Structures are given as structure tokens and as C-alpha cells.
Chain A
Amino acid sequence: MYKSMRRAWPFVLPGLAGLLLFYGVPFVGGIWYSLTDGSFENKFVGFENYAAVWQNPMFQLGLRNTMEMSLICAPLLFLLSFVLAAGLHRIRPEGAFFRSSVLMPYLMPSSAVLMIWLLWFDYGGPVNHLLVALGGSRVDWLTGAELRVPVVLLFLWKNLGFCVVIFLSALQAIPESLYEYATLEGASFRKQTFSITLPLVIPSAFLVAILSFVSAFRIFKEVYFIGGPYPEEPLYTLQNYMNNMYGKLNYQNVTTAAYIFALIVFVLFGALFLSQRQALRRLNGGDDA
């Protein structure tokens, strides 16, 4: 619309300055940081920090737990939100109540709900009650590896709504007339799903997949709520490692750990992006023929 750069400055400048000050410049500067030893003369040490952090058992534990929990949380979030959105789409227009009750937790502070969660998953609490009633036996949810169950469920409770909303708006944006036309042409339900619904939903699905991972990497929040500031080993996340290093003023290690993680995240997202392109190409090319 407006072509002159001069007129854009007043709008862009405050935000750009902040982004550069808090993210851009220190992000680039941090690379140099991660290559020095942090001593008084700050010697250049090459990739020594990277090797040291990579071999640190606590870093490995934190990274492994973070990746494991993200790989549980993100796909679950993705699948559940798609199923829910499809269900809500099916019962429209009277789904408004269900839709808002699914979205609501996204706006609620999960911190305030953690006490209810601890009650529900107590050894004598309702979850175990239900398990026993169904013929199972009690589980000690609040110690050891079982702790991950309430953590993951709290995460899902909080984050489902937003992904459902994105999927739902994608489903609702598909014009009815496309299906009517396809039905007139004699296209089967399966054919309609593959050549109308999926290709039109895939861009949103990609976005939901990415957002699921972005929020799953923040699982530390739920870990802190349920497991406290010093969680047991199965819950020790990367954030715990970084807070620990940060507490010891070991900035070199914090920076290095962050960059290793950034690299992993981008490789993961790159793979997701490529598989989205692949899926779109297959659906557009394969099924029309």
C-alpha cells in the first residue's frame, strides 16, 4: 500500500529497536560468548563449551526428558485437537457451549488449578478411585516416572482449546458448495475427504503441529506446578538445567545449551515443513488423476 520507507519508520522503529536490543543483537553476540571460556581474559576456546555441555550428564538428562515429553505432548495435542474439532464441526451449529468450554482453560491460569490436580491424582484421590472401580489397582501418581501423567494431562487440559480453534476455523472456512458440487459429480465420501478436506486443512494442520511443539517445549511450566522447583529425575527438564547453570552464573554453559537446543528445534521444524510440502504435493497430484 504505502511505498515509502520513510513513512514506515515511525510505526516500525519502536518495535524493531526492542527486538534488536532484546533478541537480535544479544543472540548474535551470544554466539561469540559460547565460544569463549568466561574467565577474566575471556579466551577463545572454539567448540570446547559445546563438547563439554553436550557430554554433561545433567544436560543430557534435561534434553532427553524435554524431548521425550514434547514427543508425547505435541502429537497427543495435535491428534486430540483434530478429533475434537471434527466432532465440534459435525454437531454445529449447537456446538457453541462445548466449543467455549474446551477453549476456556487456554485463558485460565493453570497455576491456580494445580491444587485441584494434586487432589485428583492423590493416592486416595478420585483418579485412583475410578481406576479401582474399573477393576484396576491404585497408582502412585505423584512420585517417580508416573509423575509425567498428571504433568502431561495438565498440559493438554490447558493447551487443547487453542489448537481446536485453529482446526475448527480451517474446517469452517471450506465452502459447503465444494462438497455439494462433488456430491453431484458422484464423488464418494473418501474421495471428498482426500481431495477437498485434507488439502484445505493441511496448512492449518502444519501450523497446529508447529504450535503444539512450541508449547510442548514449555512443559517446564507444568513440571514446576506439579513437581516443584526441584523435580525428581523423570521430570528434570532442560529449563531446570539452564536455571541451575544460570544460578551458578555459568553464562557460557547457558548460552551453549541454548544454541544446541535451538539447532535441534530448527532441524525438527525443518523436517515438519518438508513433510507438509510432501503431503500437499501427494494429495494435489496423486488423487486427481
Chain B
Amino acid sequence: MRHRRKSGRWLARGFLALLAILMLLPMVQTFLFSFSSIPEMKAYMKTQGNRDPEAWMDPHLSPHMISLGQYEQILIKDHTILQYFINSAMYAGAILLGQTLIIPALAFGLSKFRFRGREVLFFLIVMLMLLPFQVTMVPNVLTLRFLGLLNTVWAVILPMLFAPFYIFLLRQYMVALPDELLEAASMDGAGPFRSFLRIVLPVCRPALGAAAALSFAESWNLVEQPLTYLSARPELMPLSTVFNQLAKENTGFEFAGAGLYILPALLVYLFFQEDILSGIQLTEMK
């Protein structure tokens, strides 16, 4: 990366600026559309799917008149979207809570204790992490069926509590922590439990923040699990699975639903952005 040239830098900057706009545009456009009035949106969405080679859709970027009609519709008048949104929040909340209780402790056990079979266990967790959902859904289904939990909310929540990726993420961060930290605490008489709560967790804040944000993003965009495990209970679906249906129905307020759905993710992103950039140390191979 030596020998920087001015022109190359400007080229890189221009290209990146264009790309940044393209990456942000879908969110911006969703919010802009969500403030159109319902009739305006309905009329606009009707011009979609026109095969007439002469006709173009109006390159409609912003609402003609700012209106809160769509939000009024989904929040006050008709609660279908809100119900799906609450389902989503319930899944994301339950998964995050369960993971908080299980995963950091397991990662600590795998990184700062020496016991027989530790390396094998970690290797198996990494292998599990690499398996695609098409494969891991099978053992999950067998157990869920055995426990009689299929078509209940637990079918979506329980398997996610042991998601190997977050175990890996936290373990990699904890392995890199110097042992002296814990040794000093032992000298002062702190057992592993107290050291874990008082020292390890605070020091791992960036990794914990990154894991929490990534896990939230994953459970906020659930598709495969609910479609497979909740096939008989459409009313338990999270909002992420119903948008393509909404797009077909052309209700005129689907963009308010999308805006409402993006909002929590946006807040999580803004809050945890720095953690994600500093908390991901995946290649520390020890």
C-alpha cells in the first residue's frame, strides 16, 4: 500500500462515494415512501409490472405530500402488521436473552479453563458453525419433534440459543486476553465466577456488543426457521417473512411497515457500530 498517488486516491474516493449512496438508498427510499399518503402509494405501486415497452414507472423519489397516514393505519387502525412486528420482537428478545445467559459462559469455559476434550469440543463447534442451515435443521427438527415443540415459538427460539458463530466470536476474543488479568484476581482471592463477572465480561465489552448486534440482526431477519418449524402456525410468523406477501397485496401502507421494521435495526447499528468494528477478532488462532 505504499506509493500512493493522488489520482488513485480520488478514483477510490469517487467509487466509494457512489457505492455508499447505493448501499444506503434502499433504506432512505423506504423511509421516504413511508411518508406518502396511502392513495398516493397505492396508485404508484399499481404502475409496477407494466410490460408496455413504451411506459416507464415515474422515478418517484419523495412523497408529493408528507403524510403520516400509513403509520396511522398500521399503528392505530389495523393491527396485522403490528402483531407480526411484536412476534419479531418477541423472538429477537428471547433469543438475545437466552444467548446472554449461555454463550459468554461457554466461551469463557472454552478459553480460560484447561480440561480434557476442550480442543475437540471447540473443533466440533467450528465444524457446526460451517454447516449450512439445510444440514443443521435436520438434527434440530428431530429433537424438536421428539420434545413436541414443533409449531410452537420454542422451535424458533431454542436452537438459536446455542448458535455456534457467537460462541466462536466470543471465544476468539477471550483467548486473546492475557492470563495475568485472571491470575491477579486469583491472588486477591476471586474465584472464576467472580473473575468472569467482574473482569472478563467488562473487558470483553466490544466483543459482547458485536455479538449482540450481529445476533439481533440475524434474528430480526429470520426466514428459514419460522418457515420450516412454524409451517402450521402462520399467526406466529415474524414480520420478516411476510413482506413479499405485503408487496403483492398493494395495501398502500407496506412501506410504513418496512420503515417500522428498519428502525430498531438502525438504532442497534448506530449504538453498536464501534463495537462491531473493534470487537471482531476472528483470526486469533490459538
Interface residues of A (CB under 8 A from B): 1-5, 7-8, 10-12, 14-16, 18-19, 21-27, 29-30, 33, 66, 84, 86-91, 95, 97-119, 122-126, 129, 138, 140, 142, 157, 160, 165-166, 169-171, 179, 183, 189, 192, 197, 203-204, 207, 210, 214, 217-218, 220-221, 224-226, 228-229, 238-239, 242-243, 246-247, 251, 254-255, 257-259, 261-262, 265-266, 269
Q: In the complex, which residues 97-129 of chain B have their Cβ closer than 8 Å to any Cβ of chain A?
A: 101-103, 105-106, 108-110, 112-116, 121, 124-125, 128-129
Residues from chain A with a CB closer than 8 A to the CB of B153 are none
Q: How far is the CB of B62 from chain A (nearest CB, A)?
A: 14
Residue contacts A-B, CB under 8 angstroms, 24 given: A7-B113, A14-B106, A19-B128, A86-B1, A90-B1, A98-B17, A101-B23, A107-B216, A107-B265, A108-B265, A109-B220, A111-B240, A115-B255, A118-B48, A118-B247, A123-B50, A124-B50, A124-B52, A197-B1, A203-B283, A214-B129, A217-B134, A238-B134, A258-B138
**For the complex, what is the distance from the CA of A165 to the CA of B279, rounded to whole Å?**
11
Residues from chain A with a CB closer than 8 A to the CB of B26 are 105, 113, 116-117, 157
Task: Select B243's contact among A3, A30, A225, A255, beta carbons within 8 Å.
Answer: A225
Task: Select B247's contact among A12, A102, A115, A126, beta carbons within 8 Å.
Answer: A115
**For the complex, what is the distance from the CA of A285 to the CA of B108, rounded to whole Å?**
37
Q: Mark B255-283, 1 if CB is under 8 A from A, else 0.
A: 10111011001101100010011001111
Residues from chain A with a CB closer than 8 A to the CB of B23 are 101-102, 104-105, 157, 160
Q: How far is the CB of A124 from chain B (nearest CB, A)?
A: 4
Most central of B19, B214, B266, B281 by chain A CB within 10 Å: B19
Docked-complex contact B24 and A11, CB < 8 angstroms? no
**For the complex, what is the distance from the CA of A179 to the CA of B109, rounded to whole Å?**
39
Residues from chain B with a CB closer than 8 A to the CB of A1 are 112-114, 179, 182-183
**For the complex, what is the distance from the CA of A249 to the CA of B66, rounded to whole Å?**
50
Closest residue of A by beta carbon distance from B21: A101
* CB within 8 Å for A265 and B228 given contacts A91-B12, A254-B141, A258-B138: no
